[in-house]
Structure 1
């Protein structure tokens, strides 16, 4: 193996697996990785070879192999290579490989579980960065391939040095893997950090892969053209995006789309329109717990917003829900269209229950089934499942018609009805070809009458069945038993036709040479005769011929059915949309407290939430949630400086506000008594403390990266949430940074902002910027030396810090608490003396004098004829200034 495979030449994020026919093996460091993923232990690892070259290895069954593949690709986001031994020398050759964004070669190995276990499906993004010849800025070409949906999306744009827009696109598209050219310049280092924050695997390819040679020919084969459209990819405006086409060429090569003819004429090419959706970055998704962590299949309601809202009945509905949460809308008409339907479903409980409990729960994953049809990998069972779903559509349409809603009719009923008409011939084909009687027995067979040759072979099989039954009757008479009662005829793949009697009747067989006993088990004794053996041989041969002939017919049926895959894709999209809207309604109607319809407005004058709650926290057992209000009004209150005790509810209040804004833009009812939400462009968040030591990023570094991105992104139509900025460095530095960022957001960005802090100095900002910044605090009080957290947000700054009381709640030793109280008193005294000293200076009068001095200097510069005259006049003015005896001026001039 070592002569062919060298593990030292591969990155640790690539795992090599060896197919040994009956089992699989993993070696070296890969064995450790596999053992942790499959067994959560290293006890299954064994040693092979002799010292000093002994090597770890791990043996995997087929079931454990599939578990490992899923975890590596979907959770760890690793790459996988599968080797097969070939030739007399048993050389190991790479047979299959897969990566998080390219799973096509492993679909057959792992089966449906691979695609259905991933909410988003495999998605690959390709990026290249070059200098814009016009602006001299960073020009990014982006291409995204979503194989399950047969979608190719491209974009070309200039970006800042933090690649803010690229991060937005990656959040919206949720790729599993990003391919980039093999280079080490600073822009690609920044790109890698962006992808790491979003947990996206980065794969570097040779620069030669990023070449557009042959791209147009490839697109001509892959793209789906309209009937009257010129069959030339150059007709698409997207092909004029040069940088994007470079990325697309690399993505097509990497995914080997051209190698699979079933991809031809299937893909749609479109432009990524990030501006159509609310801007979210990875930090905002994490801060608001929008999606569950990778590998978390519990989707517990209290863990994430997705888990709370996921009442979907279909797999494609679950995937769409995740997409809607990553891509909240910005078009108010589209938002209200969703809200109209959700509100209707909440108010009409009968309609909601019928859809959720009856119709939708019986719909299979039509998207996955349609893809199998397209790839010619479907079978009769899959076709029958589609047929069953289509049979239920008339009742579903009647249910929607009872809603008597124009919005429901135009967006759901009408397109479903049209597709149902288009798929009528598919239903007729299934009825004409599938043996419905066999389906009742659990077999999916072609009707023998459908094909003349099948009919002949079927009659042969029936003839052999009758002959076997005659042998049964003969044996029953011979043994004095009751045919089909005490002696029965069986047919199984291992033994063919055979007889079975109970253990009690076994004595009648003893010494009878006419019969050959096969085995004796708990269910009875199985035996046969020579005549039955002969019948079995003829039956097995006829069955083989029948199955070969049936396979030909099934292939024809699948080929015809594949022509309906486009309609099935469209139907799955509409049904998934209905599924998510019903899911929104079910989540809202089953919440502990009522949800309300938000009013999303074009005007940016105010943002008001009444009695807002955190939807995930309020469903926790034993929680009695205390609602709060959020009030923003332009020209009076754009920013809240939020202070108060730890655990007092500041972060929860901020997150609740962010979640309501996101839900409103996604078209869902919100956990509040009323909500007036302006149409936002961006939702940014800097919440929580977490470092990434493995990536060399401290808490403070992460704060600064996320803060820089917020300052680049925030505009008047943005909502910004900042919690405890400035930790991880010195107190004064941290306070200074927090002050500067808060002031810039309030006065320059002019965005809606909730800014929580423990730096009490920031509560002075409202006096410096009245009608822009206000103070708010989480109310708490001390009763009998016990801290009482009221979880109510009220106007004004917190009057004092309650950190020592929180420390008492954490059972910090009394000696530490007492020493901390003494030290606090000492420090507060020193700070008071410093502040008092500053206040004794006549700052107001001194500042006016300095301003007057500077204005005279400016005038002097304009009128004086030489530098000597200017310096002479400045010295005179300085002497006159000092004669005023103002301490503020003296302290400045003495510095």
Structure 2
């Protein structure tokens, strides 16, 4: 509970408080769904109405709110530790679907020279990655979908043409569609359910179509952000897309080569989404994005009411983790983060293609019937696979470190045994849809594996350090030798001190090192009397663990060691930058591998859920001439796992045109 407690009050005198209140009151008006947070170096503060919002979200109480200033201009405020700040950000963006603004002091935090440094909204989290690091990455929504909608009405026919664009920046994916819709925007609701955006951009207007759009987004729990109409201008879009889109090897480097760019209204929405997401501000986005058309007809049409009535997903912010509350909770036996994301996507997008449905059913049936294969995949292989999609994105953005590279290396190293496991299934569908593509990617990633084995010090990894092999670089090798020599000098000092004090080196008197105290000796408290009055030794501290002390010679060794280690780390950083730069070339393969492994993870999860169901699940039979759908003894799977509830299964028959 300690991390949830508020910390001290603001350390500002009355003049500084008044100056801040004056600055705070001068800020432009904002909606209640935008929360302003002020970064005060070691902690954060939230003020006014936002303080009440933050207090309720983090502490479920407003008793921690304090006041600053003098009457009649007193201002409520709340102080947050870094941990509380992260809790607040996640709740606001991922649960409440609010927007966040973070202000940073230009000079001293005691002055009122603040500037808006970071902004975040449910569909655009990229700026906050810098503030939170991987704090948002653990969420299933670390690749939020941003939607933009532009509606054009034909004055003559009264028809409405909708241009919809979606951007999933984490997947480097753009998708667009254009269609005519009815008064209730039924088709738009279907697409919204399928794409599951966190935020929807619309032009500032108040006609009936946008009122209907507002209702659609409210039902789906999507935050609406109004932009000036000028943001939906396609001026310069062709040039922007040519920079952002990924082209095939011999394809002309021109955005017009993609048929999607001919959908004018959809392009106006895409232009707004690109600007809002600031995609052109990050050069690592160039040549990465794919563009496609949203194929709504490939999936069963669902609206928000159907999702809610069938309890497909838990409610936003439901942290009870009770599987029986939703279909997602019941089926989520996934071992990987990418698997969890794909499961959510499949539940929003039920297939209509009979061959694809039967392919999934065949693999699940195979896994249900082969308990050994199922358990090997679920309990051994998949649980050791990291979030490759997130790691590939870190590589692409040059934000990865050696630890990230090692985690990818471990996953690749596991692929041969995973393939051997899948080969035991001896099934053509498993081979063509899973084994073969994994095998091809394994071959492509072989050089990545070799590079990590060549450059990383695997002995250091066993100690929990992620270092480059000294032999990889001449300068690193020289610095490593110097560090070894200094270690030897420190050990010689240990032997001298042991002889001088009449103690066994390494047993009674020990040599230790840590970044704070450097090299030092340690003896137990009962040996401390041997040091009294001896001017050769300086005592650092005496604690329960013993007495720590040093000599002037050991101090000199520590100083030299610290400087050499700093030089080693600086030189290593150059090598790491080079390694990450090379590794980034494999990010495309890693994205593909992540997609296939997530597919395997979901199918294994289905088989585990089936095998552990209280009442057996059955495999449906689909035939090509499907004119009717006959369901016998149907029950909701969430109902049968609840204790003390009895129900009567139902038969349902659907016939075409009836």
TM-score by length of 1: 0.70
Distance across 2 between alignment mates of 1:539 and 1:3: 51
Question: Could you say which residue in structure 2 is the equivalent of 1:532?
Answer: 554
Deviation readout 1:726-761 (Å, 9 max, x if unpaired): xxxxxxxxxxxxxxxxxxxxxxxx3xxxxxxxxxxx
Cα distance, 1:132 vs. partner?
4.5
Q: Quote the Cα distance in structure 1 between the aligned partners of 2:58 and 2:260.
A: 44
> Out of 234, 240, 248, which is 2:262 matched to?
240
**Are 2:628 and 1:614 aligned?**
no
Cα distance between partner residues in 2 of 1:366 and 1:26: 36
Q: What is the match of residue 81 of structure 2?
A: 61
* SS of the residue 2:629 aligns to: strand
What is the SS of the residue equivalent to 2:178?
strand
Q: Quick check: 1:175 aligned with 2:197?
A: yes
C-alpha distance in 1, partners of 2:354/2:141? 27
Work out which of the residue numbers 39, 64, 73 in structure 2 matches 1:44: 64
C-alpha distance after superposition, 1:149-190 (max 9, x if no partner): 010001111111111111111100100000111111111111
Q: CA deviation at 1:628?
A: 3.3
Report deviation, 1:7. Answer: 5.6
Do the aligned partners of residues 320 and 297 (structure 1) sit closer, same or farther apart at CA in structure 2, a change above 3 Å counting?
Answer: farther
Give the match for residue 400 of structure 1.
422
**1:612 positional shift:** 2.0
Does structure 1 retain, via aligned residues, the 8 Å contact 2:140–2:337? no
Whether contact under 8 Å (2:323, 2:329) holds in the other structure is yes
Q: Contact between 2:40 and 2:105, CA under 8 Å: does it hold in 1? A: yes
Q: Equivalents in 1 of 2:478, 2:215: separation in Å?
A: 67
1:77 to 74, 94, 97: 97
Structure 1: distance between partners of 2:248 and 2:157: 37
For the 8 Å contact 2:86–2:135, the answer to whether it is kept is: no
2:649 maps to 1:627 = yes
Aligned residue among 27, 34, 37 for 1:14? 34
Could you say what secondary structure the match of 2:638 adopts? coil
- Structure 1 residue 434 and structure 2 residue 464: aligned? no
Match of 1:582 in 2: 604
Question: What displacement does 1:135 show?
Answer: 5.3
Equivalenced residue count is: 636
What residue in structure 1 maps to residue 388 of structure 2? 366
Q: Is the 8 A contact 2:21 2:69 kept in 1?
A: no
Q: 1:620 to 1:267 in 2, by over 3 A?
A: same
User: Over residues 514-570 of structure 1, what are the superposed CA-to-partner deviations in whole Å (9 max), with x where a residue is unaligned?
Assistant: 111111111111111100000011000001100000000000000000000000000
Q: Distance in 2 between matches of 1:428 and 1:581?
A: 31
Q: Structure 1 residue 551 and structure 2 residue 573: aligned? A: yes
Q: Matched residues in 2 for 1:22 and 1:463: separation?
A: 39
Match of 1:151 among 173, 183, 186: 173
Distance in 2 of aligned mates of 1:513 and 1:479: 13
Return the alpha-carbon distance in structure 2 between the equivalents of residues 323 and 632 of structure 1: 26
In the alignment, the residues of structure 1 paired with residue 272 and residue 627 of structure 2 have an alpha-carbon distance, to the nearest angstrom, of: 46
Give the structure 1 partner of residue 130 of structure 2.
108
Secondary structure of residue in 1 paired with 2:136: helix
Determine the C-alpha separation between the residues in 1 that align with 2:455 and 2:430.
Answer: 35
- Within a 5 Å distance, the mapping from 1:764-775 to structure 2 comes to none
CA distance in 2, matches of 1:32, 1:133: 47
Could you list the per-position Cα deviations for residues 743-783 of structure 1 after superposition, in whole angstroms to 9, with x for gaps in the alignment? Answer: xxxxxxx3xxxxxxxxxxxxxxxxxxxxxxxxxxxxxxxxx
Equivalences for residues 276-295 of structure 1 within 5 A = 276-295=298-317
Preserved contact between residue 140 and residue 340 of structure 2 (Cα < 8 Å)? no
C-alpha deviations, 1:631-688, integer Å up to 9, x for none? 3456xxxxxxxxxxxxxxxxxxxxxxxxxxxxxxxxxxxxxxxxxxxxxxxxxxxxxx
Partner of 1:674: none
After superposition, the Cα gap between the structure-2 partners of 1:50 and 1:3, relative to the gap in structure 1 and judged at 3 Å, is closer
Give, in whole Å, the separation in 1 of the partners of 2:217 and 2:583.
40
1:330 aligns with 2:334: no
Offset from partner CA, 1:9-58 (integer Å, 9 cap, x none) = 00000000001111100000000000011111111110111111111100
Partner of 1:413: 435
Asked if 2 retains the 8 angstrom alpha-carbon contact of 1:74 and 1:118, the reply is: no
Q: Could you tell me how far 1:604 is from its partner in structure 2?
A: 5.3
Establish whether residue 98 from structure 1 lines up as the match of residue 86 from structure 2. no
2:47 corresponds, among 9, 27, 46, to 27
CA distance in 2, matches of 1:151, 1:219: 12
Mapped to 1, the partners of 2:431 and 2:336 lie a distance apart of 21
Tell me, yes or no, if the aligned pair for 2:381 and 2:418 is still in contact at 8 Å: yes
CA distance in structure 1 between the aligned counterparts of 2:430 and 2:154, rounded to whole angstroms:
46
Determine the C-alpha separation between the residues in 1 that align with 2:257 and 2:155. Answer: 25
Counterparts of 1:343-358 in structure 2 under 5 Å?
Answer: 343-358=365-380
| Larger Cα-atom Rg | 1
Q: Distance in 2 between matches of 1:298 and 1:354?
A: 29
Q: Answer yes or no: is the 8 Å Cα contact 1:299–1:306 preserved in 2.
A: no
Q: Hey, what's the Cα distance between the residues in 2 that align with 1:146 and 1:396?
A: 30
Residue of structure 1 equivalent to 2:484: 462
1:180-219 counterparts in 2 under 5 A?
A: 180-219=202-241
Question: Which residues of structure 1 form unaligned runs of 5+?
Answer: 635-715, 717-749, 751-895
Q: 1:254 aligns with which of 273, 276, 279?
A: 276
Structure 2 residue runs without a partner (length 5+): 1-19
State the alpha-carbon separation in 1 of the partners of residues 352 and 369 from structure 2.
25
CA-based RMSD? 1.4
CA contact (8 A) 2:136 2:142 kept: no
Deviations 1:497-523 (A, max 9, x none): 111111121111111111111111111
What's the secondary structure of 1:373's corresponding residue? helix
> Counterparts of 1:364 and 1:351 in 2: how far apart (Å)?
21
The answer for the alignment partner of 1:496 in structure 2 is 518
1:633 and 1:208 map into 2 onto residues whose CA distance is: 49
Alpha-carbon distance in structure 2 between the residues aligned to 1:234 and 1:290: 39
Matches within 5 A, 1:612-761: 612-623=634-645, 626-633=648-655, 716=657, 750=658
In structure 2, C-alpha distance between the alignment counterparts of 1:118 and 1:27, rounded to whole Å: 30
Contact 1:73–1:99, Cα closer than 8 Å, also in 2: yes
Give yes or no for contact 2:94–2:141 (8 Å, CA) kept in 1. no
Equivalent position of 2:291 in the other structure: 269
Q: Distance in 2 between matches of 1:62 and 1:633?
A: 59
Q: Which residue of 1 aligns with 2:187?
A: 165
Instruction: Return the structure number with greater relative CO, CA threshold 8 A, min gap 6.
Output: 2
* Shift, 1:436, TM fit: 0.1
